[in-house]
Structure 1
Amino acid sequence: MRAALVTGGSRGIGRAVVERLAGDGATVVFGYVSDERAAREVEEACGGRAVAVRADLARPDGVERLFATADAVFADRGAGRLWALVNNAGVIDHTPVGEFAPDVFDRVMAVNARAPFLAVREAARRMGEGGRIVTVSSTGTAWPSAGEAVYAASKAAVEQLTRVASRELGRCGITVNAVSPGPTDTDMLRTGAPPEAVAGAAHMTALGRVGTPADIAAVVALLLGPDAAWLTGQNLVADGGLV
């Protein structure tokens, strides 16, 4: 039995990752910030293999609380030391560069950049040989959209974190990678883009559709699996041929 921690696991890509890992036999602790009903639905869908923990990752103590609770869950279930961390939690803001306020910048950076940094730190203190860290980035770092300057900057930060952490943790036998999804059918896409924009993005991919959360979860599972033991410091683009 393996122990995995997923941030932002109550919906979208995070939910798909939790369900995939639980289905593959892992004991999964996942964080969520507010939607308790959605979190309980994920627990139920995973048949007892996943445990939801409320944690506000915009606060440094929220990251520490999530890991401390995960430690207790893994110990209670005999899951052993932490094997996998998936940094998925994220927020987006569409305020133009000339208009955004400092508090918008601080909030997006706190969740999208600082929280993964702190999570990698906590994971590094717990993992051993064979540990896996995957952070969800975005093709927005390479294919930027108007109104997403802070979001894209926050994702660029975790891509650099991935590269540096892979160098630092490689000697411990821990791999560190990122996944950059293209347009994916999640609440973030549906609320952040008009239908015609989503249809246009689908048309621009080589496969003629937007991705699904399960598509991205499969890529995450690949990076967590034994066949990816020689992959580290990489950013795997999963966009259906968009970029």
Structure 2
Amino acid sequence: MKLKTKEGFQAVYNWQYIHSLDFWSLVLSLACEKNSNGSRSEPSALQPLIYPLVQITIGVIKLIPTSQYYPLRFHCIRLLLRLIQQTGTFIPLTPFLLDMIDSPLFKRQPTSTSLKALDWGYLLRCPKSHENSRVYADGVAEETSYLLLEDHACMSKSIGFPELVLPALTSLKKFSKQFNKHQKLVGHIKTLVEKLEANKNFVEDKRAHLGFGPKDRARSLAFLADLPPEKTPIGAHLRLQSKIRDQKRAALDRSAHKNIQVDDD
């Protein structure tokens, strides 16, 4: 968006616009879906639309980079993750996630309150009641760490994973020493670093015994193609974390349902 006006921001930062991006992400993910071995039988006629959708979504992420709009950024990153998972398209999401950790939100002392945790699925912006609160900071830390895990799980079987993961590992190790005011964030980071390094070592061990070099593209692409994702260190951890998140989601839904029943009474 070339003209950054209030009206211009409002035309983009709304549910209708985000839902339209999500809709096209779903359409292209289904139309351009890769096979189980990571290849595609025939390129879809819709394949050329992936690039402009990615560029538009990244533009939305960059439009207002403040921490108040991290919920909206979560929506954008999730729809891009769907494209990565379904189509095999490489989209560099790590910088946008690391940027959220290295933000003023985690560089100031949060206020301790008894506020309820936020449900990211129903938010585009942080409510004013939660700004600068520990509840919001802890929630962002948890969601960002999970999305980083999910992002790297997409490449956990790649022969180039040890090199691809280095920027994230370097930044996360630095962050773990900086944010002592946010112990939950530090805990998430340390766990993530542990799993990323375990996967890095796993891939390095597997490729140490190969009889071909990087120039053999076909065999490089076939590396660990038959291995189920959950058999990698990151994949196994993601599966566990997904189950925990599903349980939390179910608990939130039950609580919301009870509140609705009370209001009806």
TM-score (norm 2): 0.33
Q: Whose relative contact order is higher, 1 or 2, with alpha carbons under 8 Å and at least 6 apart? A: 1
Q: Which has the larger radius of gyration?
A: 2
Q: Which has the higher strand share?
A: 1
